[in-house]
Amino acid sequence: MKLIIHDLPEDMAKTLFSHHSSDYKIISGCADITPCTGCFGCWVKSPAKCCIPDKYHNMGKFLASSEEFIIISRCIYGCYSPEVKVLLDRSISYLLPFFKVRNGMVHHKLRYKTSFSLTAYFYGEDLTSTEISTAKQLVQANACNLNVSNCETIFLKNPLELGGKFR
Amino acid sequence: MNIVFINASPKGKNSNSCYFLELLQNSLTKDTPNDIIIKQYTITSPYSEADFYTDIANSQAIVFAFPLYVDSLPSNVLSFLRKMEEVLTSSPCSATVYGIVNCGFYEGKQNELGIEILKNWCSRVSLPFGQAIGIGSGEMLGSLRTMPLEEGPNKNLGIAIQKFSHTIFQQTAGETIYVIPSYFPRFFFIKAANHFWVKRAQKNNLKKRDLYRKFAIPKNEK
Ligand SMILES: Cc1cc2nc3c(=O)[nH]c(=O)nc-3n(C[C@H](O)[C@H](O)[C@H](O)COP(=O)(O)O)c2cc1C
């Protein structure tokens, strides 16, 4: 499976994803999604599953089922938009709570043996060079924590540049 | 001096961020209690936006405290900053921005990107950035509230808070201060933390092996 999370307006998402194959799972982030409350229930209460009972409680499972993870997000302050970030915050059940040293620093142990590739498409008209640098480092850090097999960060002025990519 | 504290943890008043702000408040008001007026807001609790933006406009320093989520800021903090950006473009504010970012992993340095994102926000809203502290082992240090700050694992934290409060009081800027627990080596931290998760799960009637639960992933889904 190829998992896409994005924050695109509905009409743009329709244009970009209208002919996608059944191989893709597409999740649209929006302002109404309940944010993670930091309860750690997905580790110590209902392991592997977020405790907020809505349709985003299985983000960890979706990641585990993917060989490609694609993030399409507006870049704000060198980070993902809140609409995309809420989905990432609700994905931590993908990992185990337990710690170990990886790449010289403490990270989580892996719940699943499998891994996926990560491509982050950041868009925005007026990104500064510092924001671009922060965003690149952020994707690298995420890749390390999520044990990503390979990762790429791409910057776009307009997400419509992705036309025809996801079929 | 007017200071606004913004506790931006998704856990609200029950958070490590709130505790670190409390330490900062104690340090700031210890020597000069009458010179400093602190207004504290918790972004997950109801508050008057009118009061908030009036306090922001009248402040010389704003101190954000939030945890690191997925190597960056929690989604609700990003929404909050975006909203603030909108308001600040049309209302005057000249405060210097300070930050306390804490994370669960051992190394304080892992908060670096969270701090960079706060700095990038400052550039967008044209506010000067003062200093940040990046606290590692946030959950552990947050659980040692009853231990004195001058000794044991809290020592580095105590020193960092003192330096940080000095920078704020002087309204100056400084290098980021990264904190790890004192006298507490990393291998010991990992052992203690792994034990902590099992204990917490036991309170929910789960055994250690339950924490390794997986979803069965059908072959054709992969
Ligand atoms: C969704 C989520 C994501 C997190 N991501 C990270 C992370 O990337 N690195 C880290 O060291 N800690 C991470 N943590 C741990 C928190 O930063 C840590 O528990 C912190 O002490 C919470 O602070 P607070 O009580 O002020 O909210 C994460 C916690 C949650 C709930």
CA B49, chain centre distance (Å):
22
Nearest to B190 among A35, A43, A100 (CB): A100
Which regions in chain B score pLDDT beneath 50? 222
pLDDT at position A167 is 79
Closest CA to A4 of A23, A12, A19: A23
B117 shares contact with chain A (CB less than 8 Å): yes
Cβ burial B163-184 (10 Å sphere, 16+ → b, else e): bbbebbbeeeebebbbbbbeeb
Residue A138: is its pLDDT beyond 80? yes
Q: Are residues B175 and B215 in the same domain?
A: no
Q: Per-residue b/e over B7-32, b at no fewer than 16 CB within 10 Å?
A: bbbbbbeebbbbbbbebbbebbeeee
Question: Which of A1, A34, A44, A58 is the best substitution to test chain B (most B C-beta atoms within 10 A)?
Answer: A44
Interatomic CA distance for residues B102 and A137, integer angstroms:
18
Q: Do B179 and B190 share a structural domain?
A: no
Same domain flag for B92 and B193:
no
Span A58-79, pLDDT tens digits: 999 999 999 999 999 999 999 9
pLDDT value at residue A22: 84
Q: Is B178 in CB contact (< 8 Å) with chain A?
A: no
Alpha-carbon distances, residue A46 vs A90, B151, B207 (angstroms): 13, 38, 12
The verdict on a CB contact (< 8 Å) between B215 and A58 is yes
Contact residues for B187 (Cβ-Cβ < 8 A; gap 6+): none
Q: At A16, is the pLDDT very low, low, confident or very high (cuts 50, 70, 90)? A: very high
Question: Alpha-carbon Rg of chain B, whole angstroms?
Answer: 19
**Is A85 within 8 Å of B221 when comparing Cβ atoms?**
no
pLDDT at site B222? 47
As a whole number of angstroms, the distance between CA B1 and CA A162 comes to 51
Which among B78, B110, B143, B203 is the top mutation candidate for probing chain A, defined by the most A β-carbons within 10 Å of its own β-carbon? B78
The reply to whether B148 and B159 lie within a common domain is yes
CA angle B219/B221/B222 to nearest 5° reads 70
| pLDDT for A51 | 97
Residues pairing with B64 in the sheet: B6, B99
Do B77 and B35 share a structural domain? Answer: yes
Q: What is the mean pLDDT of residues A120-137?
A: 98
d(CA B36, CA A3): 51
How many structural domains does chain B have? 2
Same domain, B76 and B169: yes
pLDDT number for residue B215: 84
* Residue B123 sits in the same domain as residue B203: no
Together in a domain, B209 and B129: no
Q: What is the pLDDT of residue A102?
A: 94
Statement to judge: residues B55 and B80 lie in one domain: yes
Q: What's the average model confidence in pLDDT over A109-130?
A: 97
pLDDT at position A110 is 97
Q: Scan for tokens 């944010």, then name that residue.
A: A35
Domain match, B203 and B178 both: no
How distant, in Å, are the alpha carbons of A118, B53, B63, B135, B169 from that of B180? 31, 34, 21, 7, 24
CB A59 within 8 A of CB B70: no
Do residues B81 and B134 both lie within one domain? yes
Left (φ > 0), alpha (ψ -120 to 50) or beta: where does B105 sit? beta
User: ∠ CA A158-A162-A165 to the nearest 5 degrees?
Assistant: 175
The answer to whether the Cβ–Cβ distance between A36 and B69 falls below 8 Å is: yes
pLDDT at A118: 98
pLDDT of residue B49: 96
Decide: B136 and B109 in contact? Cβ < 8 Å. Answer: yes
Both tokens of B184, joined, read 């507490």
Q: Is the CB of A68 under 6 A from ligand 1?
A: no
Report all structural domains of chain A as residue ranges with CATH numbers, in order of start: 2-162 (3.40.50.360)
Minimal Cα distance from A100: which residue of B?
B190
Q: Give the CA distances from residue A88 to residues A57, B112, B162, B168, in Å, rounded to whole numbers and listed in that order.
A: 11, 19, 35, 33
Query: Mean of the per-residue pLDDT values for chain B?
Result: 95
What are the distances in angstroms from CA A67 to CA A78, A149, B113, B121? 26, 9, 27, 34
Ligand 1 atom with the smallest distance to the CA of B139 is 21
> Which residues have C-beta within 8 Å of that of residue A104, sequence separation ≥ 6?
none
Please give the Cα distance from A29 to A70 (Å, whole number): 13
DSSP label at residue B115: H
CB A153 within 8 Å of CB A103: no
Same-domain check for residues B56 and B18: yes
Provide the pLDDT for residue B219.
54
Task: Determine the structural domain holding residue B211 and report its residue range.
Answer: 185-222
